[in-house]
Amino acid sequence: MSQPWKTDSWFASPWNYAPEATQGMNFPAQIRIHDVTLRDGEQQTGIVFRRQEKVAIAKKLAAAGVHRIEAGMPAVSAEDEAAIKDIVNLDLGPEIFSFARCMPADVKMAKDCGVNGIITEIPSSDHIIKHAYGKSMDWAIKASIDTTLAAKEAGLYTVFFTIDSTRSDLNRYLDLMERVSTEGHMDSMTLADSFGVCTPQGIAMVVSKLRDRFTQPIEIHCHEDFGLGVANTISALANGASVAHVTVTATGERAGNVPLEDTIMALKVLYGVDTGVKTEGLYELSKLVQELSGFSVPPNRPIVGDSLYHIESGIVAMFHSRCKQAEPLEYIPFLPEVVGRPAVDIALGKGSGLANIEEHLERRGLQATPEQANEILAQVKQASISSKRLLSDSEFDGIVKSVLQGTPASV
């Protein structure tokens, strides 16, 4: 592809691909997407996924081509354990992982569920070990060694996950990883920005240090507390991490985990990195998770927000009118069908212009004189201002009828 920033499906910035911008990037040949919606996503306050709901989400994740699904934590409840077993037995295609505390008993529960691998967690900062757990670093090291060896013995792919990595003393953190790597066992390691407090530059620095010191693959797990989770995840991948932990539509603790949709699309469109995930299913997947979780997202949410491609601005509606046939990417960054979302729609409101009116008249097969079109626009704007919202089709029909037939409108 000679111009990866400009295809039939998207139009990004050519600056992204300038040699000065890409210098030093080291994306791995294959990036694996590890979805944690069914575990970390469910930790969003108020979200509860029942057994069959977890199975339904897992099926959609598999259909989208997600590489790994973290199906839950069997120690949470008997229903969670049953859901994990259901997902494993369906043999959906992706690898199925479960989450575990650094306790050999949790490893046994995971093994009994039949999962491919385990994410086993331990706090890595002295302060959180002391204040939140009431323990010492020696306890954390011993528990990590014992549990990872138990996971190895059980034949489980073992991902060692360090809570609060990014608020740890760096040397202490690296020493913890060294002890577990040499005295315990890890097939891969997870750098966790558990509280979303690191920067892309900080993430890049630590991933580089991990790559210099260890041979195991690096996984990245970030949160969105300062809105940098996607940027931090991409920074880690660009510096050699090979697995990204995500959730559907940023469900998760506090401000949420890194959203699957944003990460996949940013990698594909802005960096030219195709993870293999089928983007056409992202909108439908997001809708399913929203429905089953009862967790609504802002209408202007990136990638999957319902009003994202509703155009109210008169200027942008004019762009749409002039370009929709030959050059639709002049007014949107990617075509809606790329993520399976509804087509661009022209809204009617305070910010509308004549292009909005002309679009809606054309849909109805109606014509108006310039004077009538301006009068319709004036009434649309006033009705929107009075009601503080967009107008419905029926309200617009009433205004059009009043102007074209000279009868009073009732909006």
Domain ranges of the chain: 25-293, 310-405
- State pTM to two decimals: 0.93
- Please, which pLDDT band fits residue 132 given cuts at 50, 70 and 90? confident
Task: Tell me how far apart the alpha carbons of residues 197 and 193 are, in angstroms, rounded to a whole number.
Answer: 7
> Are the C-beta atoms of residues 81 and 47 closer than 8 Å to each other?
no
Per-residue pLDDT reduced to its tens digit, 297-323: 999 999 999 999 999 999 999 988 888
3 state SS of 291: helix
- Please, which pLDDT band fits residue 406 given cuts at 50, 70 and 90? confident
Per-residue pLDDT reduced to its tens digit, 14-33: 999 999 999 999 999 999 99
CATH architecture of 25-293: Alpha-Beta Barrel (3.20)
HEC secondary structure over 27-53: CCCCCEEEECCCCCHHHCCCCCCCHHH
Task: Tell me how far apart the alpha carbons of residues 250 and 262 are, in angstroms, rounded to a whole number.
Answer: 9
Whether the per-residue pLDDT at 257 is higher than 60: the answer is yes
3 state SS of 218: strand
Task: Tell me how far apart the alpha carbons of residues 129 and 133 are, in angstroms, rounded to a whole number.
Answer: 5
Whether the per-residue pLDDT at 1 is higher than 70: the answer is no
Q: Which residue has the tokens 């200027």?
A: 315
Classify strands 117-123 and 218-222 as parallel, antiparallel or unpaired: unpaired
